[in-house]
Structure 1
Amino acid sequence: MYFGLQTGWVSTMTMPASLLGFGIFRALGDRMDWRGNGPFTPVENVLVQTVAGSMAIMPLGCGFVGVMPAMNYLLKEEEQGPIVLGTGKLVLWALGLCYFGVVFAVPLRRQVLIRERLKFPSGFSTAVLISVLHGKTREAGAEGIDEGGFASLVPADGDQPAPGRGEESRDANSWRRNVQLLLLCFFVSGVFTFATYFFPVLRNLPIFGSVAASTWLWTLNPSLAYVGQGIIMGPATTLHMLIGAVVGWGVLSPLAKYKGWASGSVDDWEHGSKGWIVWISLAIMLADSIVSLGHLALRSCLRYFPAAEDAWVAIVKTAFGLGSRQGYTSVRSQDDDDEDGDDEEKSQDDAPPEQQISDRIVGVGLVLSIVFCIACIHIVFGNLVPLYATITAVFMALVLSIMGVRALGETDLNPVSGISKLAQLFFAFIIPQSNKSSVLINLVAGAVSEAGALQAGDLMQDLKTGHLLGAAPSAQFCGQVIGATAGAVASAFIYRLYTSVYQVPGDLFQVPTGYVWIFTARLVTGEGLPPMAREWAMGAAALFAVTTAVRIVATGKKWHALIPGGIAVAVGMYNVPSFTLARTMGGLLAWWWRSVKGWQETPLIVLASGFILGEGFLSIVNLVMQSAGVPHFGV
């Protein structure tokens, strides 16, 4: 919630959850479970990060970092706003959104994990980290390991090999160093966060001079948490975000100001260039999403028609001058060509039947979760949101979830922002503009689509980790439901707490995604754009439609990272530079650590986790001091 209200970018934190779970249970001793039946195993660590990750995405999945602030603070009276919900209705809204995406992901599991073996890089990396923490492989963090190699990493129950004395000593020393590094980073980040409460200027350092800081908003927020997030994102994503910041805040913002297209103060969302460039970033996001999701949809259709698929790839490569299709491997795997003959082999790769999630649970759960979602939204908003609109939004969310899961499996990016924008665009056509609630309906429809895609993708990442390490899918499903329930309820109360203590939107919590949501709703429902925003938005959309298509064709090639990603550029454009600069520092640190020094990744993950957890935890202390009226210095 803390990071989401600031920048809209939320991390599921599965790796830090694995680290914390391992550290806590390791500290309890060798026999750690509550019945004293054995040590804390990799399989149990999978369940820890499954529950923790499903809780962590609820602020985003339930719309508390974007949709809800837009309804509460940005809706105008003529748009049936502002909508202010009581705590009970906030809880009901969150619970309504938190289940159907989880249930719908289950039927997709066998296709994307067992048959297609999609990578799901974050789930794979989490499995590597867990295996390293539990001493199953020492080089995985540095070199990566094959999927097939995981079979030897986790011994069967009662088959734990006894390490030699020297090996055990090395493991203990490595574990001790990692814990010390985690605690040190936690302490340093926490102290800095605590200091920013008394000296708020620390969050906006004028690195390019006072004029650039006060007039053009070029400051640095040296938040170690955002450095940690940059480490996790990696150098390519953070540098693409930096491109967005330079173009948006270094070129377009002064241009709009001097040309009179945005005559107000730069930090004014309504009349300043801060709001003007949001339209450009929004166009980039829409173009990137439409091309990416269109490619996924076409690819899913063509995978069962190899000749048509080969012809399509040849056309695309010819169009971009990439030569013949020599060396191209069809999307269809060899397994798909002989599905009848390899069922036995695939069943051996999957979990035992008793650990699977039964079809009855999936069928009943999907029906109940959909009905529950529709009922909750109707209770919360009443006649403001027609019943047919809610029903349409839920079923549209299910379709878009398939695209989101496939994109996540192939690229490690779940395009939930683009999915929600597509849903908003679709509802602009089916909801009459004469309806006074059209903007509100648009927001609700987008929130439902985003929730479904986000939760389905999160569960599939967890199922990938569990599949590699031998965890039971049924146990992970239960853990996801438990985490989603607890996270939905907790998020509603935390959102109410933050918005009652802090000014939202304000200096600390600018809710940029809230403005993106409301601007999108107004755009697709017919509200006019600022001067010249349409022309620049169309040009940016055309440019990034091309770059996204090139990125798709270049997947797997060395120069893929050199092509700017539309979503990353858009995020860097609508966030103020202070957040982007800190994340770029983290991305460059990750590049130096891995490429220049060639060190193992596990300490780097520990470093990033300590930074993020330190600020996240101490922000609660700052929240308590703010609510108690403890004075700031220098304000």
Structure 2
Amino acid sequence: MDRDYKESSNDDVNVIMKKEEIERREEQGKEEEEEDEDEDSKVAAPAPAPAAWNKQITVRGIIASILVGSIFSVIAMRLNLTTGVTPNLNVSAALIAFIFIRTWNKILLKFGIASSPFTKQENTMIQTCIVACYSIAIGGGFGSYLLGMNKKTFELSGGATILGNTPSSIREPQIGWMTAYLFLVCFIGLFVLIPLRKILIIDYKLTFPSGMATAVLINGFHSRGDKMAKMQVGGFIKSFSLSFIWGLFQWFYTAKEECGFSQFPTFGLQARKQSFYFDFSLTYVGTGMICSHIVNLSLLLGAVVSYGMMWPLISKLKGDWFPADIPESSMQSLNGYRVFISIALLLGDGLYNFVKILHATLNNFYRKNILHSCGVNQQDKKTLNDLKKDEIFMREKIPLWFGVLGYITLALISVVAIPFIFPELKWYFVLLAYVFAPSLAFCNAYGAGLTDINMSYNYGKVGLFFIAAVSGKEHGVLAAMAACGLYKSIINISCILMQDFKTGHLTLTSPKAMLLSQAIGTALGCIVSPLSFLLFYKAFDIGNPDGEFKAPYAIIYRNLAIIGVQGFDALPQHCLQLCYGFFAFAVAVNLVKDLSPKRVGKWMPLPTAMAVPFLIGGYFAIDMCVGSLVVFLWGKMNLKKAELMIPAVASGFICGEGLWSIPASVLALARINPPMCMTFSSG
């Protein structure tokens, strides 16, 4: 069950988050859905049919989507540019959409203005639009392949001293080309799988656990009454206010880079030098509350192995393994080991899961198609409730010609336009991508429907390596990163749309409304995400490995492209052997998890989660483990209330401090500095 695994290479970590988050709620969700089905079968009078698709999309819903989607884009961008770890915010989006419209209706009622009822279809539409919007901030490459093109990442990767890392491979972020590129590579993903939606959702009955879990929550919001809603709204408002005020309070003590509560040496000054401290970030405490315990503990284990053991030991080999007269940030120094070993963990985990999902896809295809052709009927018996969902899902058809014509038209436009944005990426490589994209998108969506693991980030890396290898040393790095975004965006957007179709199927929402909502959200994301990125880029030191906004995946993606261009010559001494070891470790851990899932596998760490602290340290892993501790203790005291309130409280923590980043960025741009500096030194 994939829940983050949603890239920004983030993607890598996000897949885990999506996967693990659902496991915590899936049993409860299935039980609730079964109860709903039983109730439906007992009711004598049929429930009123949902409104027509154009009635499910409302003006207030679009306004709510624009406001909340823009805020979520800023929040996701901040998470993306700090640690690169972004939790799945689908639940938060559904909850805040519910809070927003309920509050809207109450305000209008106080003025004597009656408003139309808030339905679960409208809630689904708003949630779809919000998710589509902030997904561009996560998966649009702002913390990975797009940022990896800038001059700072070029210099951090070794500059012109590294073969293939040429000055011509620099492209500084600008609002114009980024917005145009996103519109070209993201919108086409909406048309890829439209003709196959019936096959994936109804014929193959794929579960898409992320979509199913969101549907269960939305159905719950509209069936459990006002008492639950009031509790969740109250919890969200309190945690949001606390987080926002705490962000404001901390700002007063951060006159310089090394000042503030984030510099507090929680475990002592020596531990702080190795990045082990609690930095008082309620954003990552909330993130830890959403993620499962195994994700957070894997992050902590990665921090202990890397910054607690390996990097101090390798540092002592300066002058032996790597030259003593080069800076630590060089790719030929300690930073090279950090980057390439984390890449080995990511590739080992990603490749294993890629093969696993491909095997599951082919195996499922065999059972459903080959056995069916032999006369073996494996169809499950459908309830009246299932038939009703299927009938509503297929009632308003999206014509086949619409999907085919839209895909071909946008593909032709992209083949012409993308080489103008990136002359290094030749038109025939773009055409080749669009020829293979539909089959790759189908395989990815099918696998995600079975396992909830969105592998689009892996397809993006395959495209990156292929284009890097065939484009030559002069232009290969820039062309490879542009191609990575092209492959990944098409495959990712189409998979997200299928997950949303599953949510719509279970909440009786029209597919036409879902498609239009996704299109509105995608367009909004293509405009808002570059703006929010440039807000951070102009206000803060993005990509500084010693600063707050480390953006660790930018250097990872650039070095992946460099490896694709020149091979393993880019690695420092003995790094290749260490990479082999950690690649094998990632594969072995996954094998153990699959071969013995109950006895040993449940104690195995997640290699992708372990890889993140190898680059940025352990401070945020400690924050997230504090979130896990809060969830654990709350569950021990009152499990029912904890399950109800944790998503609301965690969302408040994430949104409050995340929203504070907007005024903080404006103050930084206006050169208004905090009045005080709080720092710590040895006694």
TM-score range for the pair, normalised by the shorter chain length: 0.7 to 0.9
Which residue does 2:525 correspond to in 1?
Answer: 487
Which residue does 1:110 correspond to in 2?
Answer: 198
Match status 1:195 vs 2:273: no
Structure 1 contact 290–422 (Cα < 8 Å) conserved:
no
Which amino acid letter does the alignment assign opposite residue 254 of structure 1? Answer: P
Structure 1 contact 417–450 (Cα < 8 Å) conserved:
yes
Which residue does 1:377 correspond to in 2?
Answer: 418
Alignment partner of 1:564 out of 605, 615, 619: 605
Q: Go from structure 1 to structure 2 and tell me whether the alpha carbon gap of 1:385 and 1:268 turns closer, same or farther (over 3 Å shift).
A: same
Q: Go from structure 1 to structure 2 and tell me whether the alpha carbon gap of 1:396 and 1:595 turns closer, same or farther (over 3 Å shift).
A: farther
Alignment partner of 2:673 out of 621, 631, 635: 631
Which amino acid letter does the alignment assign opposite residue 672 of structure 2? Answer: V
Which residue does 2:264 correspond to in 1?
Answer: 205
Which residue does 2:573 correspond to in 1?
Answer: 531
Q: Go from structure 1 to structure 2 and tell me whether the alpha carbon gap of 1:40 and 1:428 turns closer, same or farther (over 3 Å shift).
A: same
User: 1:505, CA displacement in angstroms?
Assistant: 1.7
Match status 1:28 vs 2:104: yes
Larger mean Cα displacement after TM superposition, 457-466 or 255-264: 255-264
Larger mean Cα displacement after TM superposition, 199-208 or 57-66: 199-208
Match status 1:456 vs 2:514: no
Q: Unmatched 5+ residue regions in structure 2?
A: 1-76, 161-165, 255-259, 679-683
Match status 1:294 vs 2:333: no
Match status 1:89 vs 2:172: no
Structure 1 contact 244–569 (Cα < 8 Å) conserved:
yes
Structure 1 contact 79–440 (Cα < 8 Å) conserved:
no
Q: Go from structure 1 to structure 2 and tell me whether the alpha carbon gap of 1:392 and 1:254 turns closer, same or farther (over 3 Å shift).
A: farther
Paired residues for 1:362-441 under 5 Å: 362-382=403-423, 384-432=424-472, 435-441=473-479
Alignment partner of 2:141 out of 37, 41, 63: 63
CA distance in 2, matches of 1:561, 1:239: 12
Alignment partner of 1:227 out of 271, 274, 285: 285
Larger mean Cα displacement after TM superposition, 540-549 or 185-194: 540-549
Structure 1 contact 51–479 (Cα < 8 Å) conserved:
yes
Q: Unmatched 5+ residue regions in structure 1?
A: 138-170, 310-331
CA distance in 1, matches of 2:374, 2:127: 31
Which amino acid letter does the alignment assign opposite residue 625 of structure 1? Answer: L
User: 1:619, CA displacement in angstroms?
Assistant: 0.7
Which amino acid letter does the alignment assign opposite residue 479 of structure 1? Answer: S
CA distance in 1, matches of 2:94, 2:267: 39
Q: Go from structure 1 to structure 2 and tell me whether the alpha carbon gap of 1:290 and 1:128 turns closer, same or farther (over 3 Å shift).
A: same
Other structure's SS at 1:24 match: helix
Which amino acid letter does the alignment assign opposite residue 581 of structure 1? Answer: I
Aligned positions, number: 573
Paired residues for 1:575-594 under 5 Å: 575-594=616-635
Match status 1:446 vs 2:484: yes
Structure 1 contact 394–448 (Cα < 8 Å) conserved:
no
CA distance in 2, matches of 1:43, 1:335: 40
Q: TM-score, normalised by structure 1?
A: 0.83
Which residue does 2:80 correspond to in 1?
Answer: 4
User: 1:440, CA displacement in angstroms?
Assistant: 0.9
Larger mean Cα displacement after TM superposition, 72-81 or 609-618: 72-81
CA distance in 2, matches of 1:591, 1:541: 32
Structure 2 contact 469–476 (Cα < 8 Å) conserved:
no
Q: Deviations over 1:305-325 (max 9, x none)?
A: 45999xxxxxxxxxxxxxxxx
User: 1:241, CA displacement in angstroms?
Assistant: 1.9
Q: Go from structure 1 to structure 2 and tell me whether the alpha carbon gap of 1:172 and 1:208 turns closer, same or farther (over 3 Å shift).
A: same
Q: Go from structure 1 to structure 2 and tell me whether the alpha carbon gap of 1:574 and 1:358 turns closer, same or farther (over 3 Å shift).
A: farther
Which amino acid letter does the alignment assign opposite residue 377 of structure 2? Answer: D
Which amino acid letter does the alignment assign opposite residue 63 of structure 1? Answer: G
Q: Go from structure 1 to structure 2 and tell me whether the alpha carbon gap of 1:561 and 1:102 turns closer, same or farther (over 3 Å shift).
A: farther
CA distance in 2, matches of 1:120, 1:537: 34
Alignment partner of 2:549 out of 485, 509, 514: 509
User: 1:516, CA displacement in angstroms?
Assistant: 0.8
Match status 1:545 vs 2:572: no
Q: Go from structure 1 to structure 2 and tell me whether the alpha carbon gap of 1:372 and 1:4 turns closer, same or farther (over 3 Å shift).
A: farther
CA distance in 2, matches of 1:339, 1:306: 8
Q: Go from structure 1 to structure 2 and tell me whether the alpha carbon gap of 1:228 and 1:121 turns closer, same or farther (over 3 Å shift).
A: farther
Other structure's SS at 2:538 match: helix
CA distance in 1, matches of 2:373, 2:501: 23
Q: TM-score, normalised by structure 2?
A: 0.77
Which amino acid letter does the alignment assign opposite residue 217 of structure 1? Answer: S
Q: Go from structure 1 to structure 2 and tell me whether the alpha carbon gap of 1:341 and 1:297 turns closer, same or farther (over 3 Å shift).
A: closer
Structure 2 contact 286–650 (Cα < 8 Å) conserved:
yes
CA distance in 1, matches of 2:82, 2:622: 14
Q: Go from structure 1 to structure 2 and tell me whether the alpha carbon gap of 1:421 and 1:471 turns closer, same or farther (over 3 Å shift).
A: same
Which residue does 1:358 correspond to in 2?
Answer: 399
Which residue does 1:145 correspond to in 2?
Answer: none
User: 1:58, CA displacement in angstroms?
Assistant: 0.7
Structure 1 contact 30–39 (Cα < 8 Å) conserved:
no
Alignment partner of 1:255 out of 304, 313, 325: 313
User: 1:235, CA displacement in angstroms?
Assistant: 1.0
CA distance in 2, matches of 1:339, 1:19: 37
Alignment partner of 1:498 out of 515, 536, 541: 536
Which amino acid letter does the alignment assign opposite residue 205 of structure 1? Answer: F
Q: Go from structure 1 to structure 2 and tell me whether the alpha carbon gap of 1:197 and 1:419 turns closer, same or farther (over 3 Å shift).
A: farther
Alignment partner of 2:345 out of 255, 259, 284: 284
User: 1:386, CA displacement in angstroms?
Assistant: 1.3
CA distance in 1, matches of 2:368, 2:198: 25
CA distance in 2, matches of 1:269, 1:583: 29
Which residue does 2:294 correspond to in 1?
Answer: 236
Structure 1 contact 245–572 (Cα < 8 Å) conserved:
yes
Structure 2 contact 204–368 (Cα < 8 Å) conserved:
no
Structure 1 contact 183–610 (Cα < 8 Å) conserved:
yes
Q: Go from structure 1 to structure 2 and tell me whether the alpha carbon gap of 1:173 and 1:306 turns closer, same or farther (over 3 Å shift).
A: closer
Which residue does 1:270 correspond to in 2?
Answer: 331
Q: Go from structure 1 to structure 2 and tell me whether the alpha carbon gap of 1:302 and 1:177 turns closer, same or farther (over 3 Å shift).
A: closer
Match status 1:609 vs 2:651: yes
Structure 2 contact 288–296 (Cα < 8 Å) conserved:
yes
Q: Deviations over 1:247-275 (max 9, x none)?
A: 12212211221122465899725355344
Structure 2 contact 139–489 (Cα < 8 Å) conserved:
yes
Q: Deviations over 1:548-590 (max 9, x none)?
A: 23334456x4754322222222223333211222122223333
Match status 1:42 vs 2:84: no
Which residue does 1:338 correspond to in 2?
Answer: 377
Other structure's SS at 1:80 match: helix
User: 1:612, CA displacement in angstroms?
Assistant: 0.8
Structure 2 contact 148–554 (Cα < 8 Å) conserved:
yes
Structure 1 contact 253–274 (Cα < 8 Å) conserved:
no
Paired residues for 1:125-164 under 5 Å: 125-134=213-222, 136-137=223-224
User: 1:591, CA displacement in angstroms?
Assistant: 3.8
User: 1:37, CA displacement in angstroms?
Assistant: 6.6
Which residue does 1:599 correspond to in 2?
Answer: 640
Q: Go from structure 1 to structure 2 and tell me whether the alpha carbon gap of 1:30 and 1:338 turns closer, same or farther (over 3 Å shift).
A: farther
Q: Deviations over 1:44-95 (max 9, x none)?
A: 1000000000000112322112112110132345252321253211210111
Which amino acid letter does the alignment assign opposite residue 138 of structure 2? Answer: L
Which amino acid letter does the alignment assign opposite residue 677 of structure 2? Answer: G
Which amino acid letter does the alignment assign opposite residue 246 of structure 1? Answer: V
Other structure's SS at 2:93 match: helix
User: 1:113, CA displacement in angstroms?
Assistant: 2.6
Other structure's SS at 2:146 match: helix
Alignment partner of 1:520 out of 560, 569, 572: 560
User: 1:304, CA displacement in angstroms?
Assistant: 3.9
Other structure's SS at 1:122 match: helix
